Structure formats: C-alpha cells, structure tokens
Homo-oligomer: A and B are copies of this chain.
Amino acid sequence: MTVRLDYTNMMADVVGEEHGLRDVEIAGLAPTVAEIHADLHARRKQGMLPFFDLPFREEMMAECQQLGDEFAERFDNLLVLGIGGSALGTTALFRALVPLQHNLLTEKQRSRPRLFVADNVDPAGFSELLNFLDPNKTGVCVISKSGTTVETSCQFMVVQAWMRKAVGNDWRDHFVLVTDPAKGALRPLATRESIRALAIPDGVGGRFSVLTPVGLMPLATVGVPLQRLMAGARSMAERATRPELETNPAYLNAVLQFLAYQKGLHISVMMPYSDRLRDVADWYRQLWAESLGKKFSIDGETVHVGPTPVKALGTTDQHSQVQLYMEGPHDKVVTFLTVDDFGEDVGIPPFPEAGDLDYLIGQSMADLIKSEQRATALALCKNGRPNCALRLSTVSPESLGELIYLFEVQTLCAGGLFRVDPLDQPGVEEGKLLTYGLMKRPGFEEKRAEVEDWEGGVNLRQL
C-alpha cells in the first residue's frame, strides 16, 4: 500500500461547522454506498464494467509490452495520435514515470524513444511537429475506438501521407492502430492494409482506458514497466472493491467529495505538490468532469449537476491561485497529492553573506516543498476551507497504478451518489454534429445550415 487518503482536514472539528463534514454525515451515506456497491458489482459480473478487471489481463499487457519493445527497437520517436481519453492518461503517466527531460536527451543518453502526444488539430502546431520529426525514425500509434473521432481521423490522414512520402509502401510498418476489437472505421482498415492493431476491450470507455493498449502501448514503448503499474492497480483493486465505506478509500473519497458538493463546494481543486504528478490532475479532470457533469439524473430529472475539477500545482500555484482559495467564495474543496519520499533531494548549500536567507542553509528542497504543503493546508483550515490529501509514499509505477484505479472506482461511486450515469457524455454530441455540418459531411447539411442561419441571424456585437 503506497497511497493513503488523509481526510483529517475535511472534518467540521478541524475546519468548522459551516463547510466541514461530520462523521454522522459520512456514516449516513453508508447504506447508499452499499447499494451502489451491490449495483456496480452486479454489473461487473455481467461483464458490463470490464475496467474493474483490466489490471488482471496479463495477455493484453504482454502484447503491449512486446509491441512497445519492438517499436522502441526500431524507432527514435513515438507519435501518438489521439485526443481526450486517448491521450490524457499516457501524458500523465509519461510525465510521472519517465525522466522529465527525456525528450531532450540524445538518442544515446536515453534508451527509449521520445514521445509526442498530438492531441489537437492546430495547423501551426501540427505542421511544426511534423517538420521536426524524421518519419524514417518515427512510429505512429493511432488511437480511436470508433475510428471516426474527427480530430484523430484528420491527423491520421495527414500523417499517413507524410509517412508514405518518406518511406513509400513501408508506411504500414510504422503504424499501430489501437481501436475497437471488431467494429469501427479503423479495424477494417487494419485488416485490409495489414496494419498492426491492438484492441481496446469491449465496454471500456475512453476516460477509463489508460490501463488498456490506449495507455499501455505508448507507455511500454517509452519504458514504463507495465508489470509494476499493473501490480499497483491490482493492489488498489483489493482495497477499492471492498463493500464497506469505512474500509474502501475510493468510496470514502467519493462520499467526501459528494458531501462537500452538497455544502456548496462546487469546485474540486486537485493540487499535486510534485512536478511529476502535475498531469495526473489533467487526466482526473476529464474523468471527473465528463462522468459527473450531467443535465439529467438517472431518474430522468433535470439536475444540471457536476463538480468542476480544477488543476493546480504546488508550490507554483501558491503564487497564482492560493490567494483566491484562501479568501474567495466558499466554493472549493482542495485535494493535495503529496509525496513522502522524492527519491532524490537537493541540499541547500552555504551562500556568501546569505543574511536573511541564512536559515535555509543545510536544509533541503524536500524540506521546503513539504513545509509549504503543510503550511498551505493549515492556512486553508484556519480560513474554514476543507482540504484532504492523497499521500503517495513515492512516485512509482505502483503508486500511479493505485491512484488510477482509486480514481476510476471513486468516479463510478460518485456517479451513484450524484444519481447520474458516469459512463455517458451526451452533452458533446450536438457540437460534433454541428462540426460535421461545417465540415460538409454528407447527411449533415441541415446542421451546416443551422450554424450559418444562427450566425447570420444574431445581432453581432464586437469591439
């Protein structure tokens, strides 16, 4: 066990009655959580929630490891084409588990390829990236379950031509497609063109897919030890599938966040005190926002519910956001991610005539960053602001595996508490259809007309 949930500072006896929680409130949700648990595990048994069992799929992992090793052997760059759930987990774990300067090292200094996750369709950014990369030395991992995600499709079409121009018919050998096992647009392409493909297991949605080939293939390529990552996830699987609220950290954290929301704390800040954990907050942001931000409850009521996740970084954002967190509206709950042992430390050396800074000499950066986190937590408490911490003993494949599994189960449980479907995202459909219209996809002419009529009809206000 390398991840602990510390919720001391969420409680009314610490932060005050107005926004703090009481034990009785937490306990009061135990029956609801028991129902949610029963429902989740009934659905799991029916094969409807396969994400629960991903850490146990040795074959899937081995397949990713093998292909990742092969790509690492053959290429100097891995270019991932994917967006949202197809990109965020990889980015988060790459930053956490591979040296931060990895991409800047020479081929000799690092034994594994550089990683580039292209998760946008900015023409300037994308063309600059392609100009930079040598296609001969680049493997490409295209990730889309449906194969029709418009951004990824567009990227794929561009990159395929770019690659073919450089290596001719060998272009296929530079690609792997991560997609649906049977359906979608990429699977038949893979079959027809004999392009290697890895399957995203049925029933695993994008934001729950980091422990499938979506994340595992790129991470294996850059050298993340998948075995250790999965071992961490399995370790949390034991804790996060316990039926009782009081022994299950995923359920407990869901309850804490839910109760905070009920008290008007609609903004959920995740604030790692660790450079490596910075992008975990971005991955979590999708998981939490898309899963819980809903118009309708499962009972069909209009609820317009959902906490807004916000990413911050300690100590950096103490100099940017913490003023607001301390003094602004009582609408936030802060979750710190802390690290007990950073692995390396930096001593603060003597400094000529240091004067006012003399006190720092002989201490270390770890002392400082930990002190700042403790100070910030206490200052928040003194201002009546609930906060909690997920404490990692180290930043390791194991602890990241634990954290991912924890957050995924927590999110499902929170879906039950908020009474929304945490697995759908109906609110993005309309934007997709309107985009199809503007991009002249056949059958969407009406959508195009709708945008044009709208834009032509409004009273334009510009300055």
Q: A8-B461, A120-B315, A322-B428 are in contact. Are A100 and B128 (CB under 8 A)?
A: yes
| Contact in complex: A331, B308 (CB < 8 Å) | yes
Which residues of chain A (326-344) have a CB below 8 Å from chain B? 326-332, 342-344
Q: A158-B349, A368-B151, A458-B8 are in contact. Are A428 and B126 (CB under 8 A)?
A: no
Complex Cα distance, B314 from A286, in Å, reads 14
Distance in angstroms from A79 CB to nearest chain B CB is 13
Complex Cα distance, B378 from A2, in Å, reads 46
Interface residue? A194 (CB, 8 A) = no
Interface residue? A295 (CB, 8 A) = yes
Interface residue? A6 (CB, 8 A) = yes
Q: A458-B8, A463-B252 are in contact. Are A275 and B124 (CB under 8 A)?
A: yes
Select which of B249, B327, B431 is within 8 A of A306 by beta carbon. Answer: B327
Which residues of chain A (179-206) have a CB below 8 Å from chain B? 185, 189, 192-193, 206
Which residues of chain A (143-159) have a CB below 8 Å from chain B? 148-151, 153-154, 156-158
**0 or 1 for each of A350-381: is its CB under 8 Å from B? (1 = yes):** 11111111011101111111011011101101
Interface residue? A298 (CB, 8 A) = no
Chain A at the B interface: SS class: helix
Interface residue? A81 (CB, 8 A) = no
Select which of B4, B11, B275, B306 is within 8 A of A459 by beta carbon. Answer: B11
| Contact in complex: B379, A293 (CB < 8 Å) | no
Complex Cα distance, B121 from A366, in Å, reads 8
Which residues of chain A (1-58) have a CB below 8 Å from chain B? 4-11, 13-14
Complex Cα distance, B190 from A352, in Å, reads 12
Max chain B C-beta neighbours (<10 A), residue from A157, A349, A395: A157
Binds B, one of A66-74, A217-225, A434-442: A434-442
Distance in angstroms from A314 CB to nearest chain B CB is 8
Interface residue? A231 (CB, 8 A) = no
Residues of B within 8 A of A371 (CB): 435, 438-439
Interface residue? A321 (CB, 8 A) = yes
| Contact in complex: B315, A462 (CB < 8 Å) | no
Binds B, one of A82-90, A208-216, A397-405, A408-416: A82-90
Distance in angstroms from A155 CB to nearest chain B CB is 8
| Contact in complex: A365, B427 (CB < 8 Å) | no
| Contact in complex: A122, B438 (CB < 8 Å) | no
Q: A121-B368, A369-B123, A395-B124 are in contact. Are A360 and B319 (CB under 8 A)?
A: no
| Contact in complex: B126, A365 (CB < 8 Å) | yes
Complex Cα distance, B188 from A355, in Å, reads 11
Complex Cα distance, B148 from A320, in Å, reads 17
| Contact in complex: A359, B439 (CB < 8 Å) | yes
| Contact in complex: A348, B463 (CB < 8 Å) | no
Interface residue? A235 (CB, 8 A) = no
Interface residue? A279 (CB, 8 A) = no
| Contact in complex: B368, A451 (CB < 8 Å) | no
Residue of B nearest to A132 (CB): B101
Distance in angstroms from A154 CB to nearest chain B CB is 6
| Contact in complex: A428, B304 (CB < 8 Å) | no
Residues of B within 8 A of A378 (CB): 434, 450-451, 454-455
Residues of B within 8 A of A158 (CB): 346-349, 365
| Contact in complex: A124, B375 (CB < 8 Å) | no
Q: A431-B372, A434-B379 are in contact. Are A308 and B320 (CB under 8 A)?
A: no
Could you jot down 6 A-B contacts, CB within 8 Å? A105-B132, A150-B360, A157-B357, A323-B426, A326-B431, A381-B454
The 5 closest A-B pairs by CB, nearest first: A84-B319, A293-B324, A125-B275, A375-B434, A326-B427
A14-B458, A122-B273, A306-B329 given; 10 more Cβ-contact pairs under 8 Å: A5-B462, A8-B458, A14-B459, A87-B316, A123-B342, A127-B344, A157-B354, A160-B351, A290-B323, A304-B330
